Amino acid sequence: MPIITRLTALYEKRGIRIAAGLNPSHYRGFPHAAFTWFVKDGASLTDGLGIALQEIYFLECLFARFHPKSIFAIGNSLGWSTLALAIANPQARVLAIDAATDRLAREGIHFTNAVAREEGLAVTVVEARSPDDVARVCREAILPPVEFALIDGYHTVEQVELDFRALRDVATSGCVYLFHDVANFGLLPGVERIARESGLAYRLLSGTTSGMAIVFDPEGTPGIAEDIAPFAAAPEVLRVIEHAGWSHRHRHLARWRRSLRKRIGCVPPPVTLD
């Protein structure tokens, strides 16, 4: 069963309606339409939207051959990505932390833990902060060295670097690190610095909705580069698309200007009285 099928059912059967993967152009250009929304009684439940449908599919591709047994996530909100990781990796233990600063984040922690218990998923979520609490939380949970980490907490360049360093101390040498919202929040300088200082490889995943980035050891995790390739378009390909977007926009503006000039030309000159 695809991840998204079971994942959506976990929420829907508990009275939470899901909308995921909507095309922003169909919703007045609203960019957040593409992410996952949790709606109950006609209102959004949380400010923390879930990762997008296309990003769920990315996880499915990533874990087709890579099977981590110890997973750590920074950021939980209503549990969408945490539970997705557990469904995609039934052999793994998943430990997530959330600073509980978003609206209903504490309720999200309780909800995620309850769903995990009821569904038999090896998931634990605790209220804690990165980087200060990472080592303690892993120690108290008796979590084996981390083999995969999802970093989706506070979105600043400085913070993602702090998150990475904290996780590196509790991770295996071959751990794979996935960063959410890299393109959306301008976090690439931090990811580049992480890769440069650690000696690991990185790829910007332009084919994911938020512009995720992944940091990994190509030799320690064979197959990763091949499995993520469809989501990491080459720079020369992106330049073609950027040019097409520029041309499309300017053709539209040119048509609008021509139409405006014609309309102005049809307006009769003002009448003057002698």
- Tell whether 44 is covered by a domain: no
Measured CA to CA, the distance from residue 59 to residue 36 in angstroms comes to 15
CATH of the domain at 204: 3.40.50.150
- Tell whether 30 is covered by a domain: no
| 13-30 core/surface letters (b: 16 or more CB in 10 A; e: else) | eeebebebbbeeeeeeee
The yes-or-no verdict on residue 47 having pLDDT over 90 is: no
- Tell whether 183 is covered by a domain: yes
228 with 199: CB under 8 angstroms? no
Tokens 């539209």 -> residue: 252
Coil, strand, or helix at residue 118? helix
Average pLDDT, the chain: 92
- Tell whether 214 is covered by a domain: yes
**Mean pLDDT value across residues 183-187:** 97
Band of pLDDT at residue 258, cut at 50, 70 and 90: low
- The residue with greater pLDDT, 250 or 65, is 65
Q: What is the pLDDT of residue 252?
A: 61
Q: What is the pLDDT of residue 22?
A: 97
Question: Pairing relation of β-strands 37-40 and 43-44?
Answer: antiparallel
**Mean pLDDT value across residues 190-210:** 97
Q: What is the pLDDT of residue 237?
A: 85
Question: Sign of torsion, CA 49 52 58 64?
Answer: positive
The yes-or-no verdict on residue 226 having pLDDT over 70 is: yes
- Tell whether 257 is covered by a domain: no
The yes-or-no verdict on residue 154 having pLDDT over 90 is: yes
Our count of domains for the chain comes to: 1
Question: Pairing relation of β-strands 201-205 and 212-216?
Answer: antiparallel
Residue 205: domain span: 52-231
Tell me the pLDDT tens digit for each residue of 227-242. 999 999 888 888 888 8
Band of pLDDT at residue 1, cut at 50, 70 and 90: confident
Cβ atoms within 10 Å, residue 222 = 12
Cα 44-49-52 angle, rounded to 5 deg: 125
152 with 75: CB under 8 angstroms? yes
Cβ atoms within 10 Å, residue 186 = 13
76 with 130: CB under 8 angstroms? no
**Mean pLDDT value across residues 12-40:** 96
Q: What is the pLDDT of residue 242?
A: 86
Q: What is the pLDDT of residue 257?
A: 63
Tell me the pLDDT tens digit for each residue of 259-271. 666 667 665 556 5
**Mean pLDDT value across residues 217-230:** 92
Tell me the pLDDT tens digit for each residue of 89-138. 999 999 999 999 887 889 999 999 999 999 999 999 999 999 999 999 99
> Percentage of the chain with pLDDT > 90?
79
Measured CA to CA, the distance from residue 195 to residue 216 in angstroms comes to 9
Measured CA to CA, the distance from residue 113 to residue 207 in angstroms comes to 31
The yes-or-no verdict on residue 273 having pLDDT over 90 is: no
- Tell whether 76 is covered by a domain: yes
Q: What is the pLDDT of residue 249?
A: 74
- Tell whether 23 is covered by a domain: no
The yes-or-no verdict on residue 172 having pLDDT over 70 is: yes
- Whole-structure pTM value: 0.90
Tokens 């040119």 -> residue: 254
- Tell whether 249 is covered by a domain: no
Residue 58's identity, in one-letter code, is: F
